[in-house]
Amino acid sequence: MAIVKPFPGLRPRKDVAAKVASPPYDVLNSEEAREMAAGNEISFLHVNKPEIDLPPDTDPYDDAVYAQGRKNLQKMIDDGVLQRDGEPCFYLYAQTWGYHRQVGLVAAASVQEYIDDKIKKHEQTREKKERDRVRHIEALGAQVGPVFLTYKANPDIDTLFRTIQQGDPDYDFEAADGIRHTLWVVGSKKRIEAIAQMFSNVPLLYVADGHHRSAAATIVCQKRRDERSTFDPMEPWNFFLSVIFPHDQMKILPYNRVVHDLNGLSESAFMEKVAEAFEVTESAKGVEPEANKLFGMYMDGKWYKLAARKGTFDPDDAVNSIDSAILQNNLLQPLLGIENPRTDERIDFVGGIRGIKELEKRVNSGEMKVAFSLHATTIEQLMDVADAGKNMPPKSTWFEPKLRSGLVIHEIGDR
């Protein structure tokens, strides 16, 4: 079963919601965040990226940064920019991006279910990023960045959510990037009970994006449990802020690669080796692969179509049959010497939202020697990996649209 809990959200007044809502903390660097928040003192970036209010040379992991985040959050509360709902609520959050629309439930998800692997993971986390989010949560006494969860679509939940959307939304605005954000507050006890009951029939939840946020919330919870001889399992710190979408509404874009050099190979020698594992065809235009096991390669002003040869991957292996693994195992590692794509500085990753023109730009500039375009990983592949208890290859999924931060905050209180 999936435990979802309503909570009294801390959220912006309706008239300022569009000004408050910001991109997630991890899609902007400090300089970009400072520029985006310029002239907008109620941008949530002041809470999520509080180093923007300190001198530019401030270490983003300095104690002063987390203290500034708490100060900025409290000011937004004191000024009435953020207000707390009087009763526990669920929230329905719709995002519309062109023809794509996805509708998720904003709820508190169970840390215990995360620990018990009823909330499935597919990505390794890094201690440094975990520690950063732990310190942020503890400094604020709140979780401000939602974890992006998904579940296998349920028609009864779909029907209820459609009914809720027939009412007037509490927020409805289009952000500067053209994505429309719409939110309904679900305060009816009858509907709250219906939602909780329906999700109790959902066997598993999956972390789509936000592994470090969910891991950090779990660390905070475990620390607080350890500090107490007894505790109430319904205390808010036993849960973490999430937005939960049905799997059939997920939008995953490709995660492309660019590499700095050919690892000492000449172009002709490199092409000969590529042809051993892939069928290679020159293309007169840019290649955006139309199916899995197909790739584009751009080098020296030319595009090539690559098709993985049979026998170069195990189609029954949940991890190694994913395109990013096929490329890594048959080309990036053996030919270009990219042993660990997480740490090797010779490789970089380009989200599919930037398109293949960005790949051409990086190579044509001389910064990179070769680029690879991939087909998007499917949500079913992600779930298969998570169900197998394994990790996705690094940089395999790029979810769009991104969840805005600051629309609903889950307060957990100080220690």
Q: In 3D, which of 181, 180, 159, 184 has the Cα closest to residue 169?
A: 184
What confidence score (pLDDT) does residue 185 get?
98
What confidence score (pLDDT) does residue 352 get?
81
What confidence score (pLDDT) does residue 126 get?
84
Amino acid at 212: H
Alpha carbon distance 304, 169 (integer Å) = 48
Q: In 3D, which of 97, 82, 9 has the Cα closest to residue 43?
A: 82
- Kindly give, in sequence order, each residue whose CB lies less than 8 Å from that of residue 109, ignoring residues fewer than 6 positions away: 2, 3, 4, 5, 119, 147, 149, 205, 214, 239, 240, 242, 244
pLDDT in tens, 121-156: 998 888 999 999 999 999 999 999 999 999 999 999
With beta carbons less than 8 A apart as the criterion, state whether 155 and 248 touch: no
As annotated, the residues of the chain forming the CATH 3.30.1760.10 domain(s) are: 252-399
CATH topology of domain 252-399: 3.30.1760
Alpha carbon distance 328, 339 (integer Å) = 9
pLDDT in tens, 74-128: 999 999 999 999 999 999 999 999 999 999 999 999 999 999 999 999 988 889 9
* Successive 10-residue mean pLDDT values, the chain, 415 residues: 95 98 90 94 97 94 97 98 98 96 98 96 89 96 96 96 97 95 97 97 95 96 94 94 97 94 96 97 95 96 97 94 96 96 91 90 97 95 94 88 95 91
